[in-house]
């Protein structure tokens, strides 16, 4: 039974971790401007866009929109990555016992 639990923890943990990392490192775009990723948010392009728009007399708040988009992506990424990593560690730490080991 321990082997089955170990495999379940490893498979589920690896899957959650992989999906969380994928979501976290996919590029985030807002209004056609690259905002970085959920884990490495960089709103420099958005700030430049805001400054350029302000010089032209238009009022945009692309940097704040980028931060909102990054934050909304970061929550599910971390919600999958952290439990996935913990399950993976639990699976690696579980002893592998076969029925022959239990009888001995």
- Using 50, 70 and 90 to split pLDDT, how confident is the model at 55? low
Instruction: Judge whether 66 and 32 are in contact, CB under 8 Å.
Output: no
CA separation for the pair 87, 33 (Å, rounded): 36
The pair of structure tokens assigned to 13 is 């943990």
Exposed (0-12), middle (13-18) or buried (19+): which is 69, by Cβ within 10 Å? Answer: buried
Does position 58 have pLDDT exceeding 80, yes or no?
no
Higher per-residue confidence, 83 vs 66? 83
Q: Sign of the CA dihedral 69, 74, 79, 80? A: positive
pLDDT (mean) for 90-98: 82
- Using 50, 70 and 90 to split pLDDT, how confident is the model at 9? very high
Check: pTM over 0.85? Answer yes or no.
no
């Amino acid at each position: 039974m321990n082997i089955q639990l170990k495999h379940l923890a490893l498979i589920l943990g690896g899957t959650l971790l992989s999906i969380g990392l994928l979501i976290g490192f996919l590029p985030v775009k807002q209004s056609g401007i690259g905002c970085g990723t959920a884990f490495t948010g960089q709103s420099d392009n958005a700030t430049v866009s805001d400054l350029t728009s302000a010089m032209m007399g238009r009022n945009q708040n692309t940097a704040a929109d980028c931060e909102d988009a990054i934050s909304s992506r970061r929550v599910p990424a971390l919600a999958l990555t952290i439990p996935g990593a913990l399950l993976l560690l639990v699976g690696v730490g579980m002893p592998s016992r076969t029925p022959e080991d239990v009888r001995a």
